[in-house]
């Protein structure tokens, strides 16, 4: 994406987010009828997995290339070096036709374990509404195990509405029944509006308008047939407490990637997730120019991972029972002709070059302090998590990172 596109897109999303009104209505299509949950799902007793999307595109140079000059010292020195992590410094997004090095695509490569060509389903310029055609990790997980939706979480930023929709694929055997649940300010605002309407805060014309607004917000994912099933009592309770603490404005709580950390810490305490993906994104602000945004954003994510790690260590059920997986959605350019060489991620060699890290107790991650130099693919992350949590990932690339250790 070039700078102008980025600005346009950011502005559009920013305005929409601030006013809770949307300039367009999502296309309404008929979802497939839901099949009942199959019998025989078993309770989950394996380790928890926290998947850190080191997002907004980060390349190796500022993260794992040089231990002395890394902007993520916790991830590099603690998680990898001291806590028994395995580092995959030569992970890449394969160069194939139609495969893009960008955020939505990379996130779906991680979630599905498959490189795929994604086209926006809405047909609108830069709306980046992609749908996974093969199941996501969360669907595999919840199809095998009897884990409620509020314990399979995706924590999202406030200005990437398109990413609200990666919670399930359109695969006929999997899909919405096994979806994950999103925590984000967008979901909080939806909760507030739904609650306000129910509590009689509005009347007359205003009530009508608010009802339409809510319908639009809830229907942005037209694939969801039964809204009752999407509003989970556990998540409503989560937002009720959040509002009690932070109020309703959205200006008191932390913002940006710090917000994602806070949401994740709250989630661990209140919802007890088994599988949680955190979609960090702020290093991407370097599209705007200032290079220190990028360095600083990497450090803020690193600090967030430290806080989340500490929270798991202070919690009986998570301590010695949690595996961290860290992987960027994509890399960034190394274009010396640009004033900021890593401003964008235009499918260049360096934008394909990422890394992976798996760290956790030895019984789940056998080799420690090991760097596996062989080239690994980003899509191997899916099967690796499947192995750690013991569920099959039949539509994902059939290679696990742990097999290489």
* 160 versus 189: smaller Cβ distance to Zn ion: 160
* 58 versus 385: smaller Cβ distance to Zn ion: 58
Minimum distance, C-beta of residue 349 to Zn ion, in the bound complex (Å): 17
* 128 versus 284: smaller Cβ distance to Zn ion: 284
* 194 versus 345: smaller Cβ distance to Zn ion: 345
Minimum distance, C-beta of residue 331 to Zn ion, in the bound complex (Å): 11
Nearest to 350 by CA among 93, 72, 70, 105: 93
What tokens were used for 235?
A: 């998540």
Determine the size of the site formed for Zn ion (CB under 5 A). 1
* 106 versus 304: smaller Cβ distance to Zn ion: 106
Minimum distance, C-beta of residue 70 to Zn ion, in the bound complex (Å): 21
* 104 versus 273: smaller Cβ distance to Zn ion: 104
Minimum distance, C-beta of residue 280 to Zn ion, in the bound complex (Å): 13
What burial class does residue 46 get, using C-beta atoms within 10 Å of its C-beta: 0-12 exposed, 13-18 middle, 19+ buried? middle
Which residue number is nearest to Zn ion in terms of Cβ?
Answer: 284
Site string for Zn ion, 271-290 (x = CB under 5 A): -------------x------
Minimum distance, C-beta of residue 166 to Zn ion, in the bound complex (Å): 16
Minimum distance, C-beta of residue 281 to Zn ion, in the bound complex (Å): 9
**Greatest CA separation found in the chain?**
65
Point out which residues bind Zn ion (CB under 5 A): 284
């Amino acid at each position: 994406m070039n700078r102008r596109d980025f600005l346009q897109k950011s502005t559009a999303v920013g305005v929409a987010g601030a006013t809770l009104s949307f300039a367009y209505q999502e296309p309404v299509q008929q979802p497939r009828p839901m099949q009942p949950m199959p019998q025989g799902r078993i309770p989950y007793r394996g380790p928890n997995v926290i998947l850190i999307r080191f997002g907004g595109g980060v390349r190796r140079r500022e993260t794992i290339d040089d231990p002395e000059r890394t902007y993520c010292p916790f991830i590099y020195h603690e998680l990898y070096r001291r806590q028994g992590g395995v580092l995959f410094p030569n992970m890449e997004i394969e160069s194939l036709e139609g495969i893009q090095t960008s955020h939505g695509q990379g996130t779906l490569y991680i979630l599905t374990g498959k490189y795929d060509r994604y086209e926006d389903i809405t047909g609108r310029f830069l709306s980046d509404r992609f749908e996974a055609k093969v199941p996501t990790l969360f669907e595999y997980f919840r199809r095998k195990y009897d884990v409620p939706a509020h314990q399979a979480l995706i924590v999202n930023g406030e200005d990437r509405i398109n990413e609200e929709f990666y919670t399930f694929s359109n695969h006929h055997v999997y899909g919405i029944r096994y979806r994950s649940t999103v925590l984000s300010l967008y979901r909080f605002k939806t909760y507030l509006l739904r609650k306000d309407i129910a509590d009689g805060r509005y009347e007359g014309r205003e009530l009508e308008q608010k009802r339409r607004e809510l319908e639009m917000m809830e229907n942005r994912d037209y694939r969801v047939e039964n809204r009752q099933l999407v509003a989970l009592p556990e998540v409503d309770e989560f937002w009720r407490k959040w509002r009690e603490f932070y109020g309703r404005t959205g200006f008191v709580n932390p913002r940006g990637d710090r917000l994602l950390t806070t949401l994740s810490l709250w989630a661990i305490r209140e919802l007890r997730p088994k599988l949680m993906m955190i979609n960090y994104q702020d290093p991407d602000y370097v599209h705007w120019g200032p290079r220190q945004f990028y360095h600083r954003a990497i450090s803020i994510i690193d600090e967030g991972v430290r806080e989340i790690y500490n929270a798991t260590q202070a919690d009986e059920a998570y301590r010695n029972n949690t595996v961290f997986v860290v992987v960027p959605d994509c890399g960034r350019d190394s274009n010396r002709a640009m004033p900021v060489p890593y401003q964008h991620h235009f499918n260049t060699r360096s934008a394909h070059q990422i890394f992976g890290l798996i760290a956790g107790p030895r019984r789940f991650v056998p080799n420690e302090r090991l760097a596996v130099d062989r080239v690994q693919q980003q899509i191997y992350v899916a099967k690796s998590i499947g192995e750690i949590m013991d569920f099959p990932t039949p539509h994902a690339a059939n290679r696990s990172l742990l097999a290489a250790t």
